[in-house]
Chain A
């Protein structure tokens, strides 16, 4: 079954850290760029980061660059988002998604994991 399953969300204090994981199954994981997209409560979608199949290229939104790090383990079919120096405005549902091979869009999404940054 082709799917993505996120984990690792939770409540963290401002300035704290959290690591999100996304487990992929049902497709050749190493062939695909993987991306993280977030959605603040009651708000729209915001692209956060993506990484190519071989981990040689990573890209970040300005709002998270220098604080968040995307990585992947193709042997484990997993992609990660290490989030440091968290702020209240990072509170959101974080979706893992697979970038399609033929364009810059997400054809497969996980169910999301909620990150709440609050004291």
Chain B
């Protein structure tokens, strides 16, 4: 079963850059998606197809995928970016077709 590993927490000061990694074996061979979930709310897609942003998502959000790590980068972090961030891939060999990482809680200091 494919496993995605995310650090439980990431902290960053306002205006700085947050880097949220998502580790998986040879993850660069897969397509990675990222969701943001604020407290008490449903998740929202922020990056798809490794690097693309849905309409309405600020350019401050960007994604990359190389080797065994995919990364969500948030530049010029704002208080409103606080929340949980989940990476996700499709893996037909797993017991879950959609595999989610455990999530990273982003705290803006």
A residues within 8 Å of B by Cβ? 35, 37, 44-47, 50, 59, 61-63, 95, 100, 103-107, 109-112
Contacts and interface: CB of A to CB of B under 8 A. Distances in A.
Contact of A105 (B42, B45, B95, B101): B45
Interface string B40-84: 011111001100001000000000000000000000000000000
Interface of B: 31, 33, 35, 41-45, 48-49, 54, 86, 88, 90, 95-103
Contacts, number: 61
A18 B97 CA distance: 24
A100 B102 CA distance: 22
Nearest to B49: A103
Closest 9 CB pairs of A and B: A104-B90, A47-B98, A62-B95, A105-B33, A109-B42, A45-B100, A44-B103, A61-B96, A47-B96
A107 B43 CA distance: 10
Given A103-B31, A105-B33, A105-B88, A47 B97 contact: yes
